[in-house]
Structure 1
Amino acid sequence: MEVKIGDLVERASHQRDLLFRVIELREDHTSKVAVLFGEEFRLVADAPLEDLIIVSSHEYRERSKEGKNKLDRTYQLFQQDYRLVQQRNEYYSTSGYTADVNYFQLPGKVLHLDGDPLYLRKCLDLYAKIGVPVQGVHCKEEEMPQRINELLVQFQPDILVITGHDSYTKSKGKIGDLHAYRNSRHFVQAVKEARQKYPSLDQLVIFAGACQSHFEALIRAGANFASSPSRINIHALDPVYVVAKISFTSFVDRVNVWDVVRNTITGERGLGGIDTRGILRTGLPFQHYED
């Protein structure tokens, strides 16, 4: 069966470890090569057509069930954490439940830049499900450094997400060489541009990176959280769980790094960062008016 753009495929040479979607076909010297985007993980790769195995619709549905179960468990863990935070905030806002007051909360606003429009849509759906206020912008990774300032001015976020696709190629350099990564240098430059405008790590919280990204360079550039410490693949929705934790943590509390990454899909091998202040603010009274 001939491989076409849009097909779901796996790589035989990698023991069919990850599911990809074909987004481009091109000639590379004497062979035909497909450019692949990870269907669930933020990885971009090249592969010769003869290495690809097309995944049928039936097989994809069966694989999707397994992935959905993992996503559901992660979401349940996040909900447990969120309920504990809500209970603690309610306790303090009502002076230990002694005051009968109606209070309101202002979670941190997120600006999410994503190099993949399909992943962005999935992330926006999850933000809405969790209740995080967000503005999403599809932006090619190489264009992010040029666009970041105008977008920060336009949306005035509390939290910035810079993500998309990335990969590390050993043949292009050592693991510390930024040029051995497909898009890490663009993420790094975008973070630096954002820090020119917002130098404080608490004024603007930044998550940056994708699969196999240069974690250390992103942290040095000014990111609070980044991927990927062990250069492994991260799930498409991991950035959402990281920033949602920060968005719903009170500004008087410190967000422990382990508390952030432990309930993500990828975990601490794929995500890391520095201790960061929360964003959530609580106010009162809450007034409800009929329309």
Structure 2
Amino acid sequence: MKIKCGDIVARLSHNKDLYFKVEAIDEQAGIAHLKGLEMRLLADAPLSDLEKPGAGELASYRAKALRLRLEVLNRSNKKRKRSGSRGQKKSVNEAEYVNLPGRVLHLDGDLEYLDICQRAYQDLNLPNCCFHVQEQKQPELVLDLMEACKPDILVLTGHDSVIRRAGKPDGPDSYRNSRHFIEAVRRARRFQSSKDDLVIFAGACQSWYQGLMEAGANFASSPDRILIHCLDPVMIVEKVAYTPIQKTIDIYTVLSESITGPPGIGGIETRGQYRIGLPKQKN
């Protein structure tokens, strides 16, 4: 069966472990350029290595992905309900004050993933500004978007992957898009140098973790160069946005409770961005 752009495929050489969308095809070379459906991964594969899943297989995969998304959101909502008003004094009636979680600016190189993340932010009641910005354009646009949105939390993500080059030292040139994320982080830090006043998550699948952290990120992927889920940034953001401003985030807990865990996401001790206001204005 002929493979064409837009098809959903799996790689036979990887035991069909992940599903991808075909983004482009080099007919002369017999190579397809692929984008992960749930994982923030770009890959190339020979057309001969690709197979389209059957309708039943694809339906099962999509159902599993949807269950995971719902599980992530339900888990986050249950935690917030158990913790009440995020550690505020019991004497304060919750109805009397206004909740002010951190504001998120999310730049994503993938429009479909952006839509998934934006819906998750809305379900989590997080104020957000979300923009589809190709990875290579993020350094150019990040400052203008920060000026417009005034975020407490910045997410710079999209797609990435390791480019295997024998004998080459590890560095930005060994990755498809890490250098763009790194430069965007650097520019954001010129705008706001404090890692408590601007919390940055940066990276995608297999990104150069060390370079992103050195550039000034609070959280980044991927320490073990593994794949990360499209919702991993949301998991980190939710914890930062709803941890009170006077507390630091439990770094072990927030990383362990992400979808891919510490092998996929790393970070540093960071102050929360949740505030309350009094009195609550009457309509």
Shift of 1:183: 0.4
Q: Give 5+ residue unaligned stretches, structure 1.
A: none
Q: Once the two structures are superposed, what CA deviation does each residue of 1:87-108 show, in whole Å capped at 9, x if it has no partner?
A: 4444x1xxx3376861111111
Q: In 1, Cα distance between the equivalents of 2:29 and 2:130? A: 38
Match of 2:180 among 164, 186, 198: 186
Q: Match of 2:84, SS? A: helix
Change (3 A) 1:99 1:26: closer
Shift of 1:259: 2.1
Match of 1:271 among 265, 271, 280: 265
Residues 39-188 of structure 1: pairs in structure 2 closer than 5 A: 39-90=37-88, 92=89, 96-97=90-91, 102-171=96-165, 174=168, 176-188=170-182
Q: Is the 8 A contact 1:114 1:138 kept in 2?
A: yes
Q: Is the 8 A contact 2:86 2:244 kept in 1?
A: no
Change (3 A) 1:5 1:147: same
User: 1:222 aligns to what?
Assistant: 216
Deviates more, 1:75-84 or 1:126-135: 75-84
Match of 2:191 among 170, 184, 197: 197
Change (3 A) 1:173 1:248: farther
Q: In 1, Cα distance between the equivalents of 2:113 and 2:94? A: 43
The aligned amino acid for 2:127 is P
Q: In 1, Cα distance between the equivalents of 2:82 and 2:252? A: 16
Deviates more, 1:215-224 or 1:30-39: 30-39
The aligned amino acid for 2:273 is I
Q: In 2, Cα distance between the equivalents of 1:197 and 1:100? A: 35
Q: Once the two structures are superposed, what CA deviation does each residue of 1:70-116 show, in whole Å capped at 9, x if it has no partner?
A: 333333332232224434444x1xxx337686111111110000000
Q: Match of 1:25, SS? A: strand
The aligned amino acid for 1:33 is I
Q: Match of 1:111, SS? A: strand
Q: Match of 1:170, SS? A: coil
Q: Match of 1:86, SS? A: coil
Shift of 1:196: 0.9
User: 2:201 aligns to what?
Assistant: 207
Q: Is the 8 A contact 1:78 1:263 kept in 2?
A: no
Deviates more, 1:49-58 or 1:210-219: 49-58
Deviates more, 1:68-77 or 1:205-214: 68-77
Q: In 2, Cα distance between the equivalents of 1:88 and 1:213? A: 32
Q: Give 5+ residue unaligned stretches, structure 2.
A: none
Q: Match of 1:55, SS? A: coil
Change (3 A) 1:84 1:52: same
The aligned amino acid for 1:3 is I
TM-score by length of 1: 0.92
* Percent identical: 42
Change (3 A) 1:5 1:252: same
Change (3 A) 1:267 1:173: farther
Shift of 1:172: 5.7
